[in-house]
Amino acid sequence: MLSAPTTLAVVAPADTGSQSPESALPQARPAELPHIAHPTAVAPKDARQLSKLFLDRLQELEEGTHEYQYARNTLIEMNLSLVKFAARRFRNRGSGDLEDIIQVGTIGLIKAIDRFDLTREVEFTSFAIPYITGEIKRFFRDTTWAVHVPRRLQELRTELAKAKEQLATVLDRDPTVAELAELLELTEAEVTDGLVAANGYTAGSLDLPAETGNDNNAKSSVSYADFFGAVDPGMELFEDLHTLAPLLSELSDRDRHILSMRFGQELTQAEIGEVLGISQMQVSRLLTRILGQLRTGMLTTS
């Protein structure tokens, strides 16, 4: 669940008695705001009239003051019906529940309130709806892709879907890349990139049954995950031995004999010393030199 985009609790002035928003509006002096106990209960028609008053006063108030917070919070709550209206258009998108969408749309409403200018002579509802729907669309664009792709390709996916539907109706078949490119005035390479990127919009589960080629209708117990390979523990050993072989051939016969006794016959350093007629300390130094030479050779080769 998304965290609330802002604190919507109304901090109201002192109670002046129970009065409806309708009666509060005409009694308010130009420098004052009416007390609205339940902003979310204000009817949309009354909210439009009250919003003009609150927006006008909000532009005169100093940000951070008690009255500024009251005006801004009340505007948000009074106009939540706009957010719910816009959110209903997106409830069947298959990602996020309606409450998530409303919270995201509320962020757009807040941006509209903060950026609205009364001098534009436009209704606040007409100004706010594009902000609300834009924020919701951005939420779906940024969170519903299974694989992250550039924004231009995300937007191209929508254009391609519309173009494919349009051409399929006319041609009575699926359109080719060239036909899509001509309609959208793009290159075939750009269309191909968009079609490939569209595959990242959704991802299938690895636990889904895989097609095994059987002709019977029985459901397969094999999933796609069963076909994924794992790292072969012997592969790294094979690569090491393949790299080590030419390095061993470069050693002297005595050095190879020492390695054979130590790692092939698993003799101790003291036992190797007895065979060679040297001390255990000398065997240790020889092994350190030989292994160091092989290690350097492998690092250089890799």
**Token pair belonging to 62:** 């100093």
How far apart (Å, rounded) are the C-alpha atoms in residues 273 and 280?
5
How far apart (Å, rounded) are the C-alpha atoms in residues 59 and 71?
10
DSSP string, 169-223: HHHSSPPPHHHHHHHHT--HHHHHHHHHHHTTS----TTSBPP---SS-SPPS-B
How far apart (Å, rounded) are the C-alpha atoms in residues 189 and 278?
73
* Residue among 110, 44, 38 at smallest CA distance from 82: 44
Contact present, 106 and 7 (Cβ < 8 Å): no
Give 6's DSSP letter.
S
> Which pLDDT score, from 0 to 100, does residue 45 have?
83
- CB neighbours of 188 closer than 8 A, spacing ≥ 6? 177, 178, 181
**21-143 and 151-210+218-226 share one fold:** no
> Which pLDDT score, from 0 to 100, does residue 110 have?
92
How far apart (Å, rounded) are the C-alpha atoms in residues 166 and 174?
10
Q: What is the pTM of this model?
A: 0.40
User: At the top level of CATH, which class does the domain 234-301 belong to?
Assistant: mainly alpha
Judged by DSSP in three states, 12 sits in: coil
How far apart (Å, rounded) are the C-alpha atoms in residues 124 and 216?
63
CATH of domain 151-210+218-226: 1.10.10.10
Q: Across the strands, what pairs with 209?
A: 223
With respect to CATH, is domain 21-143 assigned 1.20.120.1810? yes
Contact present, 102 and 25 (Cβ < 8 Å): no
| Averages of pLDDT over each 10 residues, the chain, 302 residues | 40 41 40 81 86 87 87 92 85 65 89 85 87 84 56 71 85 88 87 72 56 52 59 70 85 91 90 92 91 84 62
- CB neighbours of 132 closer than 8 A, spacing ≥ 6? 82, 83, 86, 105, 108, 109, 112
Give residue 185's region: left, alpha or beta (phi > 0; psi -120 to 50): left
The domain limits of the chain are: 21-143, 151-210+218-226, 234-301
How far apart (Å, rounded) are the C-alpha atoms in residues 181 and 176?
9
